[in-house]
Structure 1
Amino acid sequence: MKRADFFRKDEKDVFAQTRNRLTLFYSAILALFLSVFVALALFVFYIVVSNDQEQTLRLLSDREVGMAERALDGSGGAWREQERRDLSGNQVFYYVTGNEDELIINNDNYEELRELYMDVVEGWETDGIEVKKVEIDIPENDPLFESFTKKEVDLMVLARPVMHGGERIAMLYLAVDNTFYSSVIKWTIAIFAGMTLLFSAIGVLVSRWMSKRALQPVEIAYNLQKEFVSNASHELRTPLSVILSATEALGMESDKSNPFREKMLGTLKHEVKRMSGLITELLALAKSDSEQAAVKLRKEQFDIRPAAEQMVESFTNAIRAKGLSLKLDAPVPIEVVGDRDKLIQLMYILTDNAIKYTPSGGHVEIKLKKQNHKKHDDFLFSVSDTGIGISPEDQKKIFERFYRADKTRSRKEGGYGLGLSIAQSIAETHGGAIKVESTPDRGSVFSVAIPFEAETAQLGRAAEPSVKQTVI
């Protein structure tokens, strides 16, 4: 099976489409909830860790500022003379600078990094407590730092003024190493992201399985209904044919002088023909629903122009009765590849619709042409009319089964809302497409494009086709 045929088959399978939509919907919901949960969990974790580090810095700064205030009041010793402070825990440095940025007290974990640390606090003055996170990049090629295995250090730094007599006399800077916590947060994000992807993939599989199980009863009921329609249509054809034959025989033997009898026989004959038409359309739809529909196409190369001319002739009486004009515009010959009977049926359906819904004095035009490509050709068929047109809302639904835009007019014209469904099925079975362009009260144009392999149509390219028009 060709790839294009595979995708077209899936597009026609309403249950496959529904399963895919349900799977996508439930998987998206699950992924959304997982993402929100992971984002909230990571956010809470980040806030807790950051607050813990910041609280540690604030406690250290409170102790140092308290020592400074006692020393300046004369009750706590010489605070400025204490040039060294013991670093606690993961503390990186402890600096006190004067108002002229001179370093009064200093202590750091690595004297080699003091210059990098001082770059962080240089010029940083504040009237309150400020905390910020900074990242220090350790030069890789500098021999002074070759003993450091870590080339990046994440710090949380606190700046706080030391006040005396309402004036700032110094700035206190404290820093703790936040590298470990940053690494933990990064790994946590990676793990949670991986778990989200894993559970999302599991969710897709579970959603697929659940949607398939949920649709099984519907699919069974649909297949039973489809089988019933097909079997009932087959069974009804024979008795309807018998009734129609009996009605015609009674019409030939009836007494012409009895108008009531003649009227009843005519009504019965008309309704039997309508019922036969409905049965024929239902059988066509039942066949198109079959999974083997594409395989059953009897593709052949043929000139479709004679069939189009014969179709035009068959509509002569209907055209004249309504006072319409019908024009066929097609080259001679026009070689195409496809199922002859189905393509002719497609043309009949669209032409019949155009004639039915075009008022007296209107015009219907049929165009057939072939478009050549390198690897394939397209058979293009269009029917345009000056009829009642179709509203934009109805254009979205007219290819649905049993849908009729104007139900009153459809009953009057004898339609069941199945013709366009059959036409669409024929086009899609051939790998083509059908579309409509319409303006209410101005007319409609139905266009069909049927692709076929270019290698099989070389006969049609042997001579330049001439254009021939048929007008009724």
Structure 2
Amino acid sequence: MLKRLRKRFIITNMIFVIAVILSALVVMCVSNYRRFYADSIKAIDRTLSGDVEDLKPALEFGDRDGKRPPRPKDDSGIGKIAVFTVTLEVNSNTVSGINDSGIQVDTDTAQKAADAAIAANKISGTLQSMGLRFKMQAAKNGLKIAFADITNEQDSMQSLILISVLIFAIVLLTSFIISLFLSKRALAPVQKAWDQQHQFVADASHELKTPLTVILANLGIIKSHSQHTIEEERKWLDNTEEEAIQMKDLLQDLLFLAREDADNAPPAPHVEFDLSRLVWECILSFESVTYEQKTEMTEDIQDHILINGNEKQIKQLLIILLDNACKYAKGGTIYLLLRQEHEKVILSIKNSGVIIPKKDLEHIFERFYRASKSRSRETGGYGLGLSIAHTIVQKHNGKIKAESNEKDGTTFCVVLPVL
């Protein structure tokens, strides 16, 4: 699927580039042709109206020994358009006069040009083979035809077309190479998400399979003891209930992440509440846990810190972080800090215990990360807690990070906006 998506990306990009560059080159060629055409027509009209009498220095029109004479230049250095007029007799259409305005045109060349113009059967037009553009006008003593030399125009347009083709080929090749590179870069997040989805499904299936296997085994044992009382089978029933509760918790976590991932999911309602009070409530609920584990917990909590958010989700975030700290700080210490700095609230929970390797810190908020590494359930949970915490913080426009070293232990730091 990703290969097809990449091909579609490249094809779409190339079509867009081709359309843009072709449009630009066509516009450039057409605009230059129209400018050349307008200049030659203007020169012809001026000649026919009698405004131009002399186009010196003289230019000998026609090829001599296979070479064209140099074209006259104006003050700006741009090639001047060579113009001459031919007067034809009314009946015979033979040349009766040539007004070369300083351009040396022989009679044979003038007659040949006039015959070609008449054969075109148009008042004005272009003689591509002779490199001339013409326009006819009735005169007192016959027919008057003005010709403009367009060899300079033809040469310029040929050069422009060749340059355009070269530019098109270079841009096309460059765009194709860039499209290959960009398609790989652009689809990298898609590839990552695709791989994570497959990993997520595999991990969720594994975690659901384990309690289901235990439940089915317990039920099989109970069925095999059909004569026993419920009290005699209490061990298997309690174990079945424990596995069912764990499976329920896993499904609730999966549903939470699925709802938060949905693009059309309605945002959780945000209200102003006292974060300091909520932190104290969560700490009190963990007092029995720390007492049983002989874990020392110290707090530094600033009073009356108000934030705008979803109180239920923030409470879930606090429980996840405190529960995580208690699991790994058995017999050790936990230090919780809450303070406000300007428009930000900083929550830090530090615990002693097992150090998280540096290479694992960047993956610690990934779903099923712990489970996918070792499939261990010694500390409980399924590796979704920190992923849920990360999602909650993101939904509140905050940041969460983890640090771990031998000196300070493991620290989770959450930064949230005040309001």
Give the TM-score taking structure 2 as reference length.
0.50
Q: Larger relative contact order (C-alpha < 8 A, sep ≥ 6)?
A: 1
Give the TM-score taking structure 1 as reference length.
0.45
